Amino acid sequence: MAPKFKARRRGQISVHLDDAERTFLSELVVMLRAIAGQEDDPGHARLNVPPYLGDNEASSEWRRLMGDQLEDGRTRDRDLMTRVLDEEPPVEIGHEEALSLLRVINEARLVLAARLGVEVPDDYESLDVGSTIALHFLGLLLEDLTDELGASLG
């Protein structure tokens, strides 16, 4: 896969996604927006792991205090991803914007894997080819963007 992100001068990162990739990622953003409040969705559960394992009271208190901030941040990240995907490539983004894209891609990978029943590495072996390719593509995007974020700091 050709690199989809490239570090530029002044901490900028150039995003090079083709039409099919932008469409796929746009559909994943729609999926992420749709799971809010759907507690029976395995993707929702994967994104909302209790912050204090074994302490429901502390986890509930954390959610009461921080839950809105978390959801607001996720909404801002997804809005940014949508704006980037709607622009013709290459799209230039800054470091903070790249971090937002990284979070959305990671969330999409987590949700998709949860919905496909992936709990441990061996579960990948039971996936159909399309699901495997989708998860692999998201993993490669994460790796590529992480590498370029590091390069943009140097």
Q: Convert the pLDDT of each residue in 111-153 to its tens digit.
A: 999 999 999 989 989 999 999 999 999 999 999 999 999 988 8
Average pLDDT value for the chain: 94
pLDDT at 84: 98
Domain annotation covers residue 124 = yes
How many folded domains does the chain comprise?
1
pLDDT at 103: 98
Residues whose CB is less than 8 angstroms from the CB of residue 28 and which lie 6 or more positions away in sequence, other chains included:
108, 111, 112
pLDDT at 62: 92
Q: With beta carbons less than 8 A apart as the criterion, state whether 62 and 51 touch.
A: yes
Q: Taking residues 59-85, report their average pLDDT.
A: 94
Q: With beta carbons less than 8 A apart as the criterion, state whether 136 and 60 touch.
A: no
Residues whose CB is less than 8 angstroms from the CB of residue 33 and which lie 6 or more positions away in sequence, other chains included:
78
pLDDT of residue 49 exceeding 80: yes
Domain annotation covers residue 34 = no
Share of the chain above pLDDT 70, in %: 99
Domain annotation covers residue 8 = no
Helix axes 56-86, 95-115, angle to 10 degrees: 110
Q: How far apart are CA 118 and CA 29, in angstroms?
A: 20
Name the residue range of residue 134's domain.
41-47+57-154
Domain annotation covers residue 24 = no
pLDDT band at 93 (very low <50, low <70, confident <90, very high): very high
pLDDT of residue 154 exceeding 80: no
Domain annotation covers residue 146 = yes
Largest CA distance in the chain: 48
Domain annotation covers residue 19 = no
Q: Taking residues 43-58, report their average pLDDT.
A: 93
Domain annotation covers residue 20 = no
Domain annotation covers residue 95 = yes
Alpha carbon separation from 118 to 34, 126, 132, 149 (Å, rounded): 20, 9, 11, 28
Report CA torsion sign: 104, 72, 150, 89: positive
Q: With beta carbons less than 8 A apart as the criterion, state whether 14 and 6 touch.
A: yes
Q: Taking residues 70-74, report their average pLDDT.
A: 94
Q: Taking residues 10-25, report their average pLDDT.
A: 95
Q: Which residue, 145, 147, 127, is CA-closest to 135?
A: 127
**Beta bridge pairs of residue 6:** 14
